[in-house]
Structure 1
Amino acid sequence: MTSTTPKLHMSNWICCQIGAREHYSIPRALHENGQLAHLITDAWFTPQSPFGVLPFSPTTALKERFHPTLQQASTHAFNLSLIRFEISQKLQKTLAWERMIARNYWFQKQAINRLKKLAPQLNTRPILFSYSYAALELFRFAKQQGWLTILGQIDPGPLEEKIVIQEYQRSPQYRGDWEPVPTSYWQTWREECELADCIMVNSLWSRHLLEKAGINAEKIQVIPLVYTPPETAKNFSRTYPESFSPERPLRVLFLGQVILRKGIAAVLAAVEKLEGYPIEFWLVGSQQIEIPPHLKTHPQIRWVGHVNRSETAQYYQQADVFLFPTLSDGFGLTQLEAQAWKLPIIASRFCGEVVVDGVNGWLLDEVSGEAIANLLKFILQDTEKLIKLSQHSADLNKFSLATLADSLQNLVSEKFHVAKTNQRSVYQ
């Protein structure tokens, strides 16, 4: 009896993703290398689309749901359905986690309906890629068709949440409106991991926490995030004063969500230990914690709040050191953004591997106010070290789209024993 299962081919990837995660890096790398069959996403608005500039909230960010390098790709989206979904959720006043879970299921239902129409057109066995927490129904469908599945794990999973819960227990004064995810969320995720033939994580830290959570280590593959520096950063020259003073303090930049998982409690503890020192903290990002009144008006803190991605460059340029004391991150893309502007980093060890201790920044032995304060005092005494670290920024070629394309080819050839393609002209 002859098997009717289509054979696997490198050029038959189907990518499913909600939003513009990682600037569509996975489908972009595949498309530029001739390996993307279809991109299925929730919204896709060309620059000419009138919906991308509508003033009401469901579409405020929709103008970013597009990438010019994918203009010729086979792209499928559900624009009007998404707008109707977001409006209905707003009218129902659903809670944040309820809305996120509902959106994940809405997207998978739409995507499966489209996959049913596309399946008869496929003459080779596809690889279905989807990001975590919005993959279960897609993987169930894919397995029924005999397809291969790759899960893009966006964070370190349930053990990261345990870390966050412990931090809230230590720092209840910052709680705000944070709530843990429902138990069903992690049950769904474990089913996704079971159905995945391969699980892509972005750092050794994520791999470590997934293995501790009981995920099959043989399935896990580490592939870092991708980042393309802006042209204006390539010739940027960073300067430092001979010494810092009240008139020209050391500018410490924290850029990201102002939440406990990002280590903000330790940052604010460091501020209080450094009162009177010529150090200024710039906190850039949406504030999702309760901030004590004395810190809201602290003379050494500049509360900037949320800024658009296009506005972040000015803060990287003007800062002296970047502070990334996360308690847990799948990677931490802001590290690459900071390095593009030759900005030394103070980072924790619980994220992507960007900082080499003493070469382009410092790694904290622990995330605490005392550890951060002590390191900043050291920097005040040795500004020459900042100059040297600025001159040894990370090699961002390791995080390029070309490197990602190679990694995806290696993943498929090693995990699924498929010969690599010769379609490399785009990088030659």
Structure 2
Amino acid sequence: MMELSIKIRSVIISNMDVIYSIAANFAGGGIGTTSYNAVSGIDRHKFLKKLYCVTYQESEIADDLIQKYPTAFLDRVSFLPQNKRYLAKDSLFDFFVSRNDLTCDIFHGWNGHCLRSLKKAKMNGAITFLERASSHINTYEKLVSEEYRKWGIKSDVISNYSKKRLIEEYNTSDFINIPSEFAYKSMVENGIPKEKLNKLPFGVNTSKFKAKSEKRKENLEYMVLFVGQVGFRKGIPYLLEAWQSLKLKNARLYLVGGEEEAAKEYLRDFRSDPTIEFVGFTNPLSYYQAADIFVFPSIEEGSALVNYEALACGLPVITTFNSGSVVEDGKSGFIIPEADIASISEKINYFYEHPRKEAEFSLSARKLAEEFTWKNYGERLVDVYLKKLKS
């Protein structure tokens, strides 16, 4: 039905030109994956005029539609702190993009990457979209700063200049795309008009991320999985303390992801626990396919892709509202309060003690993931463009 509605609107608006801009490695993972699937949807309908990016992986997008500005050399400027290198890189990219003729019907840029180009495209008559893949910067700063303070970590989450730039992009754009109810709520609470917001959940490659066909052997250990940066923002202390309080027999917690530098001292006390496996940064697919359940107790996200991936692999997901998940509470997983050790323990133990319920949740998880394919994400995005352009 969605594709049919898009085709009908496309007949009415047959020559929409879209420019898409992101200061990242297009199709290269993370926001590069999200942007790739957005642009693929735009290109399927022959609406893509130009893609601007830092660099790109080979894809079906025609080379003549892509302009890259490789600003990653600034990563090697060692005398600048990391946050200032990111700011310099994104600002330089935006400067290069803004020097182009940005005449189009729709200009779509990522938050922090597009202030100059957003203004120029708008001046040229484009309808402008801003991609904000996280909560409002005020909410982000508050939650993450409070979490660091709780653990005695001194950290400047964001500079005043960067924050001002992000908010100016909010105010300049015609519309802001956000991926979850949590992100939507944070925007409204910080004064962004509801009519300016488009809630577009992300997606997952359901052909790649799927459960193994063979059944697990009953004598294998019970496997609880976390995927992501092992650090404070992701709620790792609450997961580790919940895990140790359970003392489950024949069970192991796997942490797949790089470790946050600021968290390494805290993590030291858990390394000797034989029931906790610090895997490090690696391809998580085999871990998704081997695990029994997935736990992601994040303090702040836009809509974490790992939750979609876990669902697609048939894993019941225990996560927070602040993770921006599409999980159906009590059906494909559980939504729990952030920073709540007792809730994490309770829900892990529920699945451990109720294998039949876990199997039911597993079926629901995969079924839910199939509604959030990357193709559907691209189609929803194009549908939003067409609706706004028509109105």
Structure 2 residue 96 is the aligned partner of structure 1 residue 107: no
Between the aligned partners of 1:331 and 1:190, the Cα distance in structure 2 is 20
The number of residue pairs the alignment matches comes to 367
Note if 1:36 corresponds to 2:10.
no
One-letter amino acid matched to 1:156:
S
State TM-score, norm by structure 1.
0.80
Q: Which has the larger radius of gyration?
A: 1
Offset at 1:277?
4.1
- The letter of the residue matching 1:100 is Y
Give the structure 2 partner of residue 337 of structure 1.
309
Aligned counterpart, 1:396: 369
1:160 and 2:153 matched:
no
Q: 1:240 Cα shift?
A: 4.7
Aligned to 1:422: none
Q: Give the match for residue 3 of structure 2.
A: none
User: Residue in 2 aligned with 1:407?
Assistant: 380
Query: Does the 8 Å CA contact 1:201/1:207 hold for their aligned counterparts?
Result: yes
Give the whole-Å Cα distance in 2 for the aligned partners of 1:193 and 1:39. Answer: 21
Q: What value does the CA root-mean-square deviation take over the aligned residues?
A: 2.2
The gaps in structure 2 that reach 5 residues or longer are: 1-12
CA distance in 2, matches of 1:10, 1:300: 58
Q: TM-score, normalised by structure 2?
A: 0.87
Q: Distance in 1 between matches of 2:15 and 2:132?
A: 21
Alignment equivalent of 2:156, drawn from 155, 166, 179: 179
**Partner in structure 1 of residue 22 of structure 2:** 17
Deviation at 1:296, TM superposition (A): 1.8
Q: 1:195 aligns with which of 154, 172, 196?
A: 172
What SS does the corresponding residue of 1:224 show, helix, strand or coil? coil
SS in 2 for 1:15: strand
Identity of aligned residues (%): 22
Matched-pair contact (CA < 8 Å) for 2:221–2:251: yes
C-alpha distance in 1, partners of 2:337/2:226? Answer: 18
1:257 corresponds to 2:229: yes
Query: Which amino acid is 1:144 matched to?
Result: M
Taking a change above 3 Å as real, the CA distance of residues 102 and 72 of structure 1, as seen in their structure-2 partners, is: closer
Q: For 1:3-402, list aligned pairs within 5 A.
A: 11-19=16-24, 20=26, 21-23=31-33, 24-43=36-55, 65-71=56-62, 74-79=65-70, 82=71, 84-87=73-76, 89-90=77-78, 93-113=79-99, 115-116=100-101, 119=102, 125-157=104-136, 158-172=138-152, 175=153, 178-231=155-208, 233-234=209-210, 236-237=212-213, 239-240=215-216, 248-275=220-247, 277-288=249-260, 289-290=263-264, 291-307=266-282, 311-392=283-364, 393-402=366-375
Shift in alpha-carbon separation, 1:306–1:283, aligned structure 2, 3 A: same
Which shows bigger deviation, 15-24 or 99-108? 15-24
Q: How far 1:337 sits from its partner (Å)?
A: 0.9
User: Using the alignment, how far apart are the partners of 2:85 and 2:348 within structure 1?
Assistant: 41
State which drifts further: 356-365 or 271-280.
271-280
CA gap 1:276/1:219 in 2 versus in 1, 3 angstroms: closer
Residue 347 (structure 1) shift: 1.2
Question: Following TM superposition, by how much is the alpha carbon of 1:275 offset from its aligned partner in structure 2, in angstroms?
Answer: 3.4
Q: 1:128 to 1:366 in 2, by over 3 A?
A: closer
Work out whether residues 106 and 128 of structure 2, in 8 Å CA contact, stay in contact via their aligned partners in 1.
yes
Does the 8 Å contact 1:39/1:73 carry over to 2? Answer: no
- Counterpart of 1:386 in 2: which secondary structure? helix
